[in-house]
Chain A
């Protein structure tokens, strides 16, 4: 196959491709393509186009589409081409439609029939092409049309067809799990297929199935373990080897599945330990793929029931990753470390310097991964350093997505671990200042609530001090330009509520500031509303305190402007303010009591004070009030059931003509609390707009969205709707004094030996800044420093050691570079064992010129590679799969509940006795482990005994 020509394209098309290749700019490219589109539009509708020509047009359409232009005018021709009998054309047609059409496209319906026909073809290549299309194009509606045929193809004699049929079923499962739920036994059966490719493909759907329902697949643990064992023992055909690893991709898939199955299940995990241990020991860490498998092993080890030996091995691999020069490996190491510290938080300590190196690496990807790790290992002792670092980084990035993410992480950590309220407020200020528009508005409400409520304890002095400091900081910040809306809302609210509370600032000063805000952000109505309410509060407090108001001119003009505003909300607020200012002190105090934002406002919805008025009216001959749901003709279901006996009470009035569809308000119980049993109620009616993805939301946020939906409940409406998440976050913040520095820490446990040696060798070349950071992050380095009885003399200590250590570090360099070079082999040097293609481009190979960019010293290894290939033994498939067949058969019988035979019962019993209790235990066990980890995190770090740490924290 030459590089150009020789495959039937016309010169025209080749010229097009060439001119695109030579185009200097994107606009030039676009021009060429637009011209091409014009040509194609004209040509493709010509009558009697020869088929080969048509095929070329379709390929040209694919090309146009690939370059990002719209080729929809030709879609129908591609669809037509799939109908063709000629396989060559059919294949092109299928290729084009899979590239052109999404599964919701209107033209799909025209292809379904063809697909149905082709799935029945005797030519397996036609079937394969159709199955490819099935995977891409069949949507939920059309699944039933092809499902029976796809299932039939699971028994096709060609393994390629079986494999694709499995993938198609997997796709169906992803689209609509219910459509194939009765076919799950097929996946189990196909696990024992004779062909390793089919088996490998089957792992994809099984992985998805197990992710959702672990329990019902516990019986497969043995099978998976034995498959993995055989794979590692090179029992699969040689052709599945990749870079001398036996079927690594299948290994990885298997490890992923085992990680799921062993999660929190001691028994199942026990069965895996040996094979995983062997794998980790034997795996070749010099190639990329070997490291991929090793990484997957670590993921698996950290997911299954912990085993000390495996964890040690995992920690060792991680340290190799982290010490590597290769950034990819460092990245994976950081990620793996994040997984392992969940089980054993001490692991992080020995890698602290490596982690800090990664944190300061110029590579953004690595940096972000490291922040992720830090996020995972945050505790109350290091939260300040970590969050400050995060905020610094947050300020520096421009990426909208990432900024949102890291801002929400900062907020989360600050809420969870804040050592002091003052710090919390300062931190939140920073987050709001730089990413205020990106954080959830709920966070702003939480902050207001925190300031308002104080901190749970009845320490008024501390609370008011906190408020004063908040006011002070906001008065400072508010003058800065371009603050985000959410932050301004907080500022206005706090200034309104507490601006004059401590008497440091005069009312006119505060009101002036607030007026400035309202003026500067005049396009933001929410901020203006907050501002005007803040003004109202300040004036109300002033009046109530009996002080003379001095009304600023800018205030006057603001009120006038807002009273004429388009927003009715702003108008109302403005008028209310005008009314309040005119009232006397007593009335004002009733309307706007000072510092009462946390008081519950009780509302009696029966409105008892109107009773006498109602009585009087009734006596005067008025009709009694009929509750809305008791009126006739109401459309709600609840009233239908009760209609008959209501009829009597309501037949005096004719409501029918005026009846309106009734909101479903009164039929529901009043929302007393954010109870979970209310969750499913509003979903059917509101789901699209308000309730984005309920399962993903955390408990607190789902609670609040719940409240949003249920604004009909009167009590909540007048209560504190936005603070709905208060129970969670307040409990997160308030205990912080308790587990802060005052806690009695146990003495530092003696650390492991390898860590010390590593640190000693490194210490000299590490600059003190970094070590300080390490100390504050990990609390570990400081321990050794204490032993050396010097706190701030690291530099001098370092220099005395420098000669020895620098040589150490140098000697380690060559070894790492050796490790690094192999994972970049070049395609050109690969063994061409099977000469399927004979023509080789003789010259002008663009790869050649740039070969130097990739370091390769593969020549030696490829030779041996080829030798190995040529001596490929006959694989022992029969023995491999006969074993599986046995285990597979009994496993598949467990799934089908219809066939009730003896073995089935036995299996069922087994799953009941073995599976379910473990399944129940699963999450608890994990929780317990996490708790244990947390406790250890708290305990291990000698916060109080670490002078260095203190410097960082308070300096």
Chain B
């Protein structure tokens, strides 16, 4: 099971956090501090895994952003490494060559995408296409809602002219 997902920049800034196991706000801060100290200092050629408090943290660096996932002792690290990559690929499809700025300003969208990929700490869907379709469906709904709102406000504007 995945206990949490963290996105940390190279400077240790938090870009995204998702907790699947209960952690209090205080613990979360501590976890992030501890892990960024542990992971950001690691050299480039070392393992992408860190043992931590009886659990394992798998991380992967994309440019200046570290994607970290915390898993149980008996999970398959390489698989999780690829789950991270799958997430990045989906983000990439969605944002179109994703960059850190996309995630900074659209963190809530990244959350929606993550919710389609992982659920309750388990891998929910492994098909990029399916995830993409669902997100697109949600966005389309949002668009129509917006259009409706616009048209209504237009009507009001015209009526009050």
B111 contact set on A, CB distance < 8 A: 62, 95, 99
* B141/A827 in contact, CB under 8 A: no
A150 contact set on B, CB distance < 8 A: none
The complex places the Cα of A825 from the Cα of B28 at a distance, in Å, of: 31
CB of A331 within 8 A of chain B? yes
* A201/B125 in contact, CB under 8 A: yes
The complex places the Cα of A160 from the Cα of B132 at a distance, in Å, of: 12
* B14/A66 in contact, CB under 8 A: yes
Q: Which of A366, A836, A849 has the most CB of B within 10 A?
A: A836
Chain B residue nearest in CB terms to A159: B130
Q: Given A291-B78, A837-B96, A201 and B124 touching (CB < 8 A)?
A: yes
CB of A571 within 8 A of chain B? no
| Of A491-499, A840-848, A913-921, the one with at least 4 CB within 8 A of chain B | A840-848
CB of B127 within 8 A of chain A? yes
* A832/B29 in contact, CB under 8 A: no
* A289/B82 in contact, CB under 8 A: yes
B127 contact set on A, CB distance < 8 A: 196-197, 237, 239-240
Chain B residue nearest in CB terms to A70: B25
* B28/A292 in contact, CB under 8 A: no
CB of A86 within 8 A of chain B? yes
CB of B88 within 8 A of chain A? yes
* B77/A328 in contact, CB under 8 A: yes
CB of A135 within 8 A of chain B? yes
The A294-331 residues at the B interface (CB cut-off 8 A) are 295-296, 299, 327-328, 330-331
The complex places the Cα of A172 from the Cα of B149 at a distance, in Å, of: 39
Within the complex, which residue of A9, A21, A103, A365 is in contact with B22, where a contact is CB–CB below 8 Å? A103
* A292/B128 in contact, CB under 8 A: no
The complex places the Cα of A713 from the Cα of B93 at a distance, in Å, of: 69
Chain A residue nearest in CB terms to B97: A828
Size bracket, chain A contacts:
35 or more
* B83/A249 in contact, CB under 8 A: yes
CB of A951 within 8 A of chain B? no
Q: Given A125-B137, A331-B49, A846-B100, A401 and B54 touching (CB < 8 A)?
A: yes
B101 contact set on A, CB distance < 8 A: 3-4, 846
Q: Given A132-B119, A167-B120, A365-B51, A295 and B78 touching (CB < 8 A)?
A: yes
* A87/B145 in contact, CB under 8 A: yes
* A827/B92 in contact, CB under 8 A: yes
CB of B158 within 8 A of chain A? no
The B117-148 residues at the A interface (CB cut-off 8 A) are 119-120, 122-130, 132, 134, 136-138, 141-142, 145-146
* A840/B82 in contact, CB under 8 A: no
The B40-73 residues at the A interface (CB cut-off 8 A) are 43-54, 61-64
The complex places the Cα of A92 from the Cα of B62 at a distance, in Å, of: 28
Minimum Cβ distance to chain A for residue B28 (Å):
6
Within the complex, which residue of A836, A840, A850 is in contact with B64, where a contact is CB–CB below 8 Å? A850
* A289/B78 in contact, CB under 8 A: yes
Chain B residue nearest in CB terms to A68: B29
Chain B residue nearest in CB terms to A95: B111
Q: Given A17-B104, A201-B125, A846-B64, A87 and B51 touching (CB < 8 A)?
A: no
The complex places the Cα of A21 from the Cα of B11 at a distance, in Å, of: 10
The B79-110 residues at the A interface (CB cut-off 8 A) are 79, 81-83, 85-86, 88-89, 91-102, 104-109
A164 contact set on B, CB distance < 8 A: 119, 124
Minimum Cβ distance to chain B for residue A117 (Å):
18
The complex places the Cα of A365 from the Cα of B46 at a distance, in Å, of: 8
Within the complex, which residue of A102, A204, A834 is in contact with B93, where a contact is CB–CB below 8 Å? A834
The complex places the Cα of A886 from the Cα of B77 at a distance, in Å, of: 35
A135 contact set on B, CB distance < 8 A: 119-120
A836 contact set on B, CB distance < 8 A: 93-94, 132, 136
15 A-B Cβ contacts within 8 A?
A3-B102, A62-B107, A91-B112, A160-B134, A164-B124, A167-B119, A170-B120, A196-B127, A243-B82, A249-B83, A288-B82, A328-B49, A328-B77, A365-B49, A841-B96
Q: Give 8 new A-B contacts, CB below 8 A, not counting A292-B81, A365-B50.
A: A68-B29, A328-B48, A328-B78, A828-B92, A838-B96, A849-B63, A853-B61, A854-B62
By a beta-carbon cutoff of 8 Å, the part of chain A in contact with chain B is: 1, 3-4, 7, 9, 14, 17, 20-21, 26, 29, 59, 62-63, 65-70, 86-88, 91-92, 95, 98-99, 102-104, 125, 128, 132, 135-136, 159-160, 163-164, 167-168, 170-171, 174, 196-197, 200-201, 204, 237, 239-240, 242-243, 247-250, 252, 256, 288-289, 291-292, 295-296, 299, 327-328, 330-332, 362-363, 365-366, 368-369, 401-402, 405, 825, 827-828, 830, 832, 834, 836-841, 845-847, 849-851, 853-854
By a beta-carbon cutoff of 8 Å, the part of chain B in contact with chain A is: 12-14, 16-18, 22, 25, 28-29, 32, 43-54, 61-64, 76-79, 81-83, 85-86, 88-89, 91-102, 104-109, 111-112, 115, 119-120, 122-130, 132, 134, 136-138, 141-142, 145-146
